[in-house]
């Protein structure tokens, strides 16, 4: 058996085979992943003359770097306000969604009652409803509550699509925690709240981080609700502000647009770089279940 296994993997030891089966597919994948970021960087630091004159300038390289587009973005638009609004909305919606998802997932997985599985399935199915359908009734509620053109409109509507998936993810992670730990705590007189805060949550840190990253990323990049519920320039988020304020009729300010996209992607990249191991382990644990 050992000999057959060695023979089965032996073909990977030769360089040509490794190039075809490993390095070439990996290189193609990395190219498609990183090329958009490379294009954003080059477009951000190119002067307008290089952006439109491909006969005299290489479209994939910068001949004369400039900070003109970044200067215009930061000092001639409301981009700093858009960034602050995006951070406030994303962090607030993430905290609300995580708190609600933890309670919902724990109730479905640990409070054993008739129909709990169907409740969990219904919560996940709610995630499959497209936001393009939900924003119409939500817009009516936002107008009636007087929240239009306010950050609260986004903070209160984003959990409608964040909570279902986060709940499903945490349900899968809670399922990996032995129930015997909670039974021992119940015998010792611990309440459900004490069990949740002192046993379940500390053991679920990777799952919480994964759900938090997911919620934060979706909130940061959300476009439909932010476009519908916010009208004034200073209250917009980065995705909506960049598209609506940096496009004047048929004139696209590509340098500033790419600068807005590049700077706006930095917080998410930093977040993933710090917590990528927890994110992968949580998704793996949830899928296994």
CA atoms of 205 and 173, how far apart (whole Å)? 10
Residue 10's pLDDT is 57
At residue 81, the pLDDT reads: 93
Q: CB within 8 A of 46, min separation 6: which ones?
A: 62, 65, 66, 255
All structural domains of the chain, each given as residue ranges with its CATH number in brackets, are 2-66 (no CATH), 71-288 (1.10.3720.10)
Q: Are 139 and 228 in contact (CB under 8 A)?
A: yes
Count how many Cα atoms sit within 13 Å of the Cα of residue 142 in the half-sphere of its side chain. Answer: 23
pLDDT at 279: 62
CA distance 147 to 215: 22
Give the predicted TM-score (pTM) of the model. 0.82
* Local confidence pLDDT in tens for the 289 residues of the chain: 445 545 555 555 666 777 777 788 888 999 998 898 899 999 999 988 888 887 888 888 888 888 988 998 899 889 999 999 999 999 999 999 999 999 989 888 888 777 777 887 888 787 788 877 888 888 888 999 888 989 999 999 999 889 988 998 888 888 888 888 888 888 888 888 888 888 888 888 888 888 898 899 999 999 989 998 998 888 999 999 988 888 877 778 888 899 999 898 888 888 887 777 766 665 555 444 4
Phi, psi of 251 (to 5 degrees): -100, 115
Contact between 224 and 135 (Cβ < 8 Å) = yes
Residue of 263, 269, 240 whose CA lies nearest to 72: 263
């Amino acid at each position: 058996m050992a000999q057959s296994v060695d023979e089965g993997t032996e073909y990977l030891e030769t360089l040509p085979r490794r190039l075809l089966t490993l390095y070439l597919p990996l290189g193609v994948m990395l190219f498609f992943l990183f090329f958009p970021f490379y294009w954003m960087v080059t477009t951000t630091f190119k002067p307008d003359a290089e952006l439109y004159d491909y006969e005299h300038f290489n479209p994939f390289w910068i001949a004369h770097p400039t900070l003109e587009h970044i200067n215009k973005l930061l000092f001639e638009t409301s981009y700093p306000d858009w960034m602050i609004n995006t951070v406030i909305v994303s962090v607030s919606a993430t905290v609300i969604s995580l708190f609600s998802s933890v309670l919902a997932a724990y109730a479905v997985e640990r409070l054993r009652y008739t129909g709990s599985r169907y409740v969990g399935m219904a919560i996940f199915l709610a995630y499959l409803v497209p936001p393009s359908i939900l924003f119409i009734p939500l817009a009516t509620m936002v107008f009636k509550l007087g929240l239009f053109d306010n950050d609260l409109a986004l903070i209160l509507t984003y959990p409608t699509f964040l909570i279902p998936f986060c709940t499903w993810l945490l349900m899968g992670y809670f399922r990996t925690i032995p129930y015997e730990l909670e039974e021992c705590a119940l015998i010792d007189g611990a309440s459900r709240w004490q069990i949740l805060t002192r046993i379940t949550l500390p053991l679920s840190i990777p799952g919480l981080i994964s759900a938090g990253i997911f919620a934060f990323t979706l909130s940061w990049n959300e476009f439909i609700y932010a476009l519908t519920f916010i009208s004034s320039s200073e209250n917009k988020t980065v995705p909506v502000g960049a598209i609506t304020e940096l496009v004047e009729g048929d004139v696209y300010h590509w340098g500033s647009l790419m600068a807005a996209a590049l700077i706006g992607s930095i917080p998410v990249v930093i977040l993933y770089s710090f917590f990528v191991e927890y994110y992968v382990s949580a998704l793996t644990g949830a899928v296994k279940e």
